[in-house]
A and B are shown apart, each in its own frame.
Chain A
């Protein structure tokens, strides 16, 4: 067994392989200091919870404590590999400062109490508001980190028992555009492709997707293909010099906010050069002619003027896409959190539709998720969707769900799409949402324009319930804080980006009085005395497995059909991709293999929306356009961003994440190896911009937008000139004296994509000024990632002895 510093080498050793071959296994593991594998009492099956890749692992338990993790070689997703966050992240759960008792606000301060008291307060306020105003006073804002069973239960309580329309997840910040783009093109959510498409593709296009940092194990798979025979060629669209950009055959760096203009030019070229699969288009799509007309004048020269990408490079990119035999595309936040998010992401689908690149090995689309269990919020309906990918404007779907729940149809609000997160916040701000229940997320750091968010969360008249595992910037504002159990302390399932379902079992007990989120939701339901139509307690289930069985019935016959799955079946082997049914007990690798979609008017999850205005398409209109349920090619015109750099704020500000942290660092900030790799906020500046502003590596600078400012050290990087990047992970719980000048969201604009309602974190304008020269220090930014410095002499990011992890590569590694 070999050891490797996985902070210095986030992707581990190479195990090269060729097209069509199986990805070799490599088992990664990490155990607490002084613990040897033979000391471990038991290994408990689970999967990773700090990103969306869904890497299977086993949790090592000794003396009823988690002492480490090891990848599962049998699993289709990771073949034993783990990323740095998973190798080290579990240590956070044992922090001494976990929340272990409920808290209630008394005379302005949060004080410890017992569960009965805390839940009574919540129940009493819920009842009062239901009597006074009705369901519209109550809202739920959940996470991308709970388990399927928990989301399903929350959806049943919110949309069913209470009947409020206001329920969303912070997956809105993350995967809303993925879901919206899939619905626009294919009539229904559901990832068409599979991670195994990487094994077969000859061209891989990554759009605004820094896979190397967001899904490190998936990127290892790409690196292994690149190291093997007959490697794929890579197209990277990103304004930062990410590790992906460095490996790419072609890297395009459009100005922030101009993705749609670039996509339209790529489609223009593909059509002009007739690299179109006309048979596929004819047989399986509607709307092609609209696209042809829309992009007819949108030449690479037009796009060059908008995006600042040379027309020649755009032509080369179109050639790469148009010449691919097996094209895999992946999309993430560079598109999803940017101007015209859905319209741009849909054009990636369009490239695949016009080229007939769907449903066969290597030919697939991955509209990615960021968070580990984001897929489940969508399926279960704990975000702005209806349970089981049902269509909120199809009365039959609503009636069907009411039947599954055994509730009255009128009980389920369906007079409009469920209220999205930013609109929930607006209702809280204007006082019509009066109880907000936040679970497992930290809006006081993660939402845009924090000054506003803090004010509205602290508003008198808003009763704020926060359920989490640590005290956060959000719990600080709460009226009631409920201590939750986390991964390894509770049982449930979750599903990754490519539809792979994993079981995650309870390995140890939660600390103190902390409880599983599922138990908290069910306890609330019982105390509220919710009943179904027959007077039985609702929800009718009582624990994780019975919730899963109930969910299976809700998913039956829908695209995300789980009926062939059981806890027993998920134990021991590999994760399984839905749909999984009696007819397909092994799951389904790729959707749409036969060119058939879930897009028929009576089946589809959505009739779509206008890509510019966001207005939902009316059912009759949809039925006329797409009577036979084909894939829909939707075109859209480019519009300039709503906030553009100007004289006063000359830079485009982009926020995003780094490899070593997750979300607002409540976990990763408590892990020594991860925290040391990226201890503080920084700002990335292009060399030419830095020179002009007289700024050098490590100088303390201020970045300011019209809304707020951040003080940080400067990293001079290869980022596109005119663009500044600030990581969004850093808030105030460990800020040590820093005052509201650390979180990137102090600066971001309140604006969202009208189609997916995803907030835009990649199109704010900002200015920059030097505060203090470097005093010999460099920026606290990793050197291993997109934040790599241009200059020599910056100390390399390493993990030292504590960063060493086991790596069992068998034969053939190098």
Chain B
């Protein structure tokens, strides 16, 4: 079934988001809100990956070959160049990473959207329920990255 592609896609991007969140938690031990909340939010992505694996199995997809934790992040980092390129300035580096995180979460959000649409099309109530349950948390992850950008950026720009 083609819906398997959508399932795989969201699973892959969720796993990548979990990796990205944990990487940020590691990298920013001294930015403690980022450090702690990123870990909490990575847990959500883990749970989603887990549930997606179960759903994939029920849909006859081989979840083993799909993404699991540890698999590479969401493809190439979106827009690594430009003003926000992680240079020697730690403030700018943090903004660049949050920006990347925001975009990664946005990617996952799109994938959930697609899965939800697919689930409607094939009238798969279970998948629809899954995406209805998980997608809002993806949006919250995205909002968090956006909020941290808003809060932290003025001090970086003002210097």
Give A residues with C-beta under 8 Å from B: 133-136, 165, 413, 415-417, 419, 422-423, 426-427, 429-430, 432, 610, 612-616, 618, 639, 642, 750-752, 754
Hey, which chain B residues are within 8 Å of A615, CB to CB? 140, 143-144, 146-148
Hey, which chain A residues are within 8 Å of B41, CB to CB? 613
Hey, which chain B residues are within 8 Å of A612, CB to CB? 40, 140
> Do A750 and B32 have beta carbons less than 8 Å apart?
yes
Identify A751's interface contact among B32, B147, B150, B159, CB under 8 A: B32
Please provide the 4 A-B residue pairs with the shortest distance between their CB atoms, ordered closest to farther. A615-B147, A136-B158, A613-B144, A615-B143
Hey, which chain A residues are within 8 Å of B37, CB to CB? 613-614, 754
Min Cβ gap B124→A in Å is 22
Known: A133-B159, A430-B91. A610 touches B154 (CB 8 A): no
Q: Measured between alpha carbons, how far is A268 from B155 in the docked complex, in Å?
A: 43
> Do A642 and B140 have beta carbons less than 8 Å apart?
no
Min Cβ gap A714→B in Å is 31
B151 beta carbon closer than 8 Å to chain A: yes
Known: A610-B143, A751-B32. A642 touches B39 (CB 8 A): yes
Identify A426's interface contact among B31, B39, B40, B158, CB under 8 A: B31
Identify B90's interface contact among A135, A415, A430, A751, CB under 8 A: A430
Min Cβ gap A600→B in Å is 23
B36 beta carbon closer than 8 Å to chain A: yes
Min Cβ gap B115→A in Å is 21
Contacts A133-B158, A423-B151 aside, 18 further interface pairs with beta carbons under 8 A come to A133-B159, A136-B158, A136-B159, A413-B154, A417-B151, A426-B30, A430-B91, A432-B155, A610-B143, A613-B141, A614-B33, A614-B144, A615-B140, A615-B146, A616-B147, A618-B143, A642-B36, A754-B36
> Do B155 and A136 have beta carbons less than 8 Å apart?
yes
> Do B140 and A432 have beta carbons less than 8 Å apart?
no
Q: Can you name the residue of chain B whose Cβ is closest to the Cβ of A613? A: B144
A contacts with B: majority SS? loop
Q: Measured between alpha carbons, how far is A135 from B40 in the docked complex, in Å?
A: 34
B43 beta carbon closer than 8 Å to chain A: yes
Identify B40's interface contact among A419, A430, A639, CB under 8 A: A639
Give B residues with C-beta under 8 Å from A: 30-33, 36-37, 39-41, 43, 90-91, 140-141, 143-144, 146-148, 150-151, 154-156, 158-159
Min Cβ gap B130→A in Å is 15
Min Cβ gap B116→A in Å is 19
> Do B158 and A752 have beta carbons less than 8 Å apart?
no
Min Cβ gap B132→A in Å is 12
Can you list 6 A-B contacts (CB < 8 A)? A422-B32, A615-B140, A616-B147, A639-B43, A751-B32, A754-B36
Hey, which chain A residues are within 8 Å of B36, CB to CB? 642, 751, 754
Q: Can you name the residue of chain B whose Cβ is closest to the Cβ of A132? A: B159
Min Cβ gap B90→A in Å is 7
Min Cβ gap A665→B in Å is 28
> Do B154 and A136 have beta carbons less than 8 Å apart?
yes
- Residue in A416, A610, A615 whose Cβ sees the most chain B Cβ within 10 Å: A615
Identify B158's interface contact among A134, A430, A610, CB under 8 A: A134
Q: Measured between alpha carbons, how far is A22 from B27 in the docked complex, in Å?
A: 60
Hey, which chain B residues are within 8 Å of A610, CB to CB? 140, 143-144
> Do B155 and A427 have beta carbons less than 8 Å apart?
yes
Q: Measured between alpha carbons, how far is A639 from B42 in the docked complex, in Å?
A: 12
Hey, which chain B residues are within 8 Å of A750, CB to CB? 32
> Do A613 and B143 have beta carbons less than 8 Å apart?
yes
Known: A610-B140, A613-B141, A752-B32. A165 touches B40 (CB 8 A): no
Q: Measured between alpha carbons, how far is A610 from B147 in the docked complex, in Å?
A: 11
Known: A430-B91, A432-B155. A613 touches B140 (CB 8 A): yes
> Do A165 and B154 have beta carbons less than 8 Å apart?
yes
- Residue in B30, B141, B143 whose Cβ sees the most chain A Cβ within 10 Å: B143
Identify B150's interface contact among A133, A416, A419, A423, CB under 8 A: A416
Min Cβ gap A643→B in Å is 9
Min Cβ gap A104→B in Å is 27
Hey, which chain A residues are within 8 Å of B144, CB to CB? 610, 613-615
Q: Can you name the residue of chain B whose Cβ is closest to the Cβ of A448? A: B32
Hey, which chain A residues are within 8 Å of B159, CB to CB? 133, 136, 432
Hey, which chain B residues are within 8 Å of A642, CB to CB? 36, 39
Q: Measured between alpha carbons, how far is A52 from B96 in the docked complex, in Å?
A: 44
Q: Can you name the residue of chain A whose Cβ is closest to the Cβ of B157? A: A136
Min Cβ gap B39→A in Å is 7
Hey, which chain A residues are within 8 Å of B90, CB to CB? 430
Q: Can you name the residue of chain A whose Cβ is closest to the Cβ of B44? A: A612
Hey, which chain A residues are within 8 Å of B91, CB to CB? 430, 432
Q: Measured between alpha carbons, how far is A272 from B81 in the docked complex, in Å?
A: 55
Hey, which chain A residues are within 8 Å of B151, CB to CB? 416-417, 423
Min Cβ gap A655→B in Å is 18
Q: Measured between alpha carbons, how far is A135 from B157 in the docked complex, in Å?
A: 12
Hey, which chain B residues are within 8 Å of A429, CB to CB? 30
Hey, which chain B residues are within 8 Å of A613, CB to CB? 37, 40-41, 140-141, 143-144, 147
- Residue in B33, B39, B91, B159 whose Cβ sees the most chain A Cβ within 10 Å: B33
Hey, which chain A residues are within 8 Å of B39, CB to CB? 642
Q: Measured between alpha carbons, how far is A108 from B143 in the docked complex, in Å?
A: 47
Q: Can you name the residue of chain B whose Cβ is closest to the Cβ of A422? A: B32
Min Cβ gap B144→A in Å is 4
Q: Measured between alpha carbons, how far is A752 from B158 in the docked complex, in Å?
A: 25
Q: Can you name the residue of chain A whose Cβ is closest to the Cβ of B148? A: A615
Q: Can you name the residue of chain B whose Cβ is closest to the Cβ of A618? A: B143
Hey, which chain A residues are within 8 Å of B143, CB to CB? 610, 613, 615, 618
Q: Measured between alpha carbons, how far is A813 from B107 in the docked complex, in Å?
A: 70
Min Cβ gap B38→A in Å is 10
- Residue in A417, A419, A422, A612 whose Cβ sees the most chain B Cβ within 10 Å: A612
Min Cβ gap B27→A in Å is 15
Min Cβ gap A813→B in Å is 51
Hey, which chain B residues are within 8 Å of A614, CB to CB? 33, 37, 144, 147
Hey, which chain B residues are within 8 Å of A422, CB to CB? 32
Q: Measured between alpha carbons, how far is A525 from B152 in the docked complex, in Å?
A: 28
Q: Can you name the residue of chain B whose Cβ is closest to the Cβ of A136? A: B158
Q: Can you name the residue of chain B whose Cβ is closest to the Cβ of A433? A: B155
Hey, which chain B residues are within 8 Å of A639, CB to CB? 40, 43
Q: Can you name the residue of chain B whose Cβ is closest to the Cβ of A642? A: B36
Hey, which chain A residues are within 8 Å of B31, CB to CB? 426
Hey, which chain B residues are within 8 Å of A427, CB to CB? 155
Q: Measured between alpha carbons, how far is A803 from B137 in the docked complex, in Å?
A: 58
Q: Can you name the residue of chain B whose Cβ is closest to the Cβ of A134? A: B158
Q: Measured between alpha carbons, how far is A612 from B33 in the docked complex, in Å?
A: 12
Hey, which chain B residues are within 8 Å of A426, CB to CB? 30-31
Hey, which chain B residues are within 8 Å of A133, CB to CB? 158-159
Hey, which chain A residues are within 8 Å of B32, CB to CB? 422, 750-752
Hey, which chain A residues are within 8 Å of B155, CB to CB? 136, 419, 427, 432
> Do A754 and B140 have beta carbons less than 8 Å apart?
no
Known: A430-B91, A610-B144. A754 touches B154 (CB 8 A): no
Q: Measured between alpha carbons, how far is A165 from B155 in the docked complex, in Å?
A: 9
Hey, which chain B residues are within 8 Å of A135, CB to CB? 158
Q: Measured between alpha carbons, how far is A733 from B143 in the docked complex, in Å?
A: 45
Q: Measured between alpha carbons, how far is A751 from B154 in the docked complex, in Å?
A: 22
Q: Can you name the residue of chain A whose Cβ is closest to the Cβ of B146? A: A615
Q: Can you name the residue of chain A whose Cβ is closest to the Cβ of B37? A: A754
Q: Measured between alpha carbons, how far is A136 from B155 in the docked complex, in Å?
A: 6
Q: Measured between alpha carbons, how far is A380 from B62 in the docked complex, in Å?
A: 60
> Do A415 and B154 have beta carbons less than 8 Å apart?
yes
Q: Can you name the residue of chain B whose Cβ is closest to the Cβ of A427? A: B155
Identify A752's interface contact among B30, B33, B43, B147, CB under 8 A: B33
Min Cβ gap B15→A in Å is 20
Q: Can you name the residue of chain B whose Cβ is closest to the Cβ of A749? A: B32
Identify B154's interface contact among A416, A616, A752, CB under 8 A: A416
Q: Measured between alpha carbons, how far is A413 from B141 in the docked complex, in Å?
A: 26
Q: Can you name the residue of chain A whose Cβ is closest to the Cβ of B90? A: A430
- Residue in B32, B39, B141, B146 whose Cβ sees the most chain A Cβ within 10 Å: B32
Q: Can you name the residue of chain B whose Cβ is closest to the Cβ of A639? A: B40
Q: Can you name the residue of chain A whose Cβ is closest to the Cβ of B41? A: A613
Q: Measured between alpha carbons, how far is A441 from B41 in the docked complex, in Å?
A: 35
Q: Measured between alpha carbons, how far is A208 from B29 in the docked complex, in Å?
A: 30
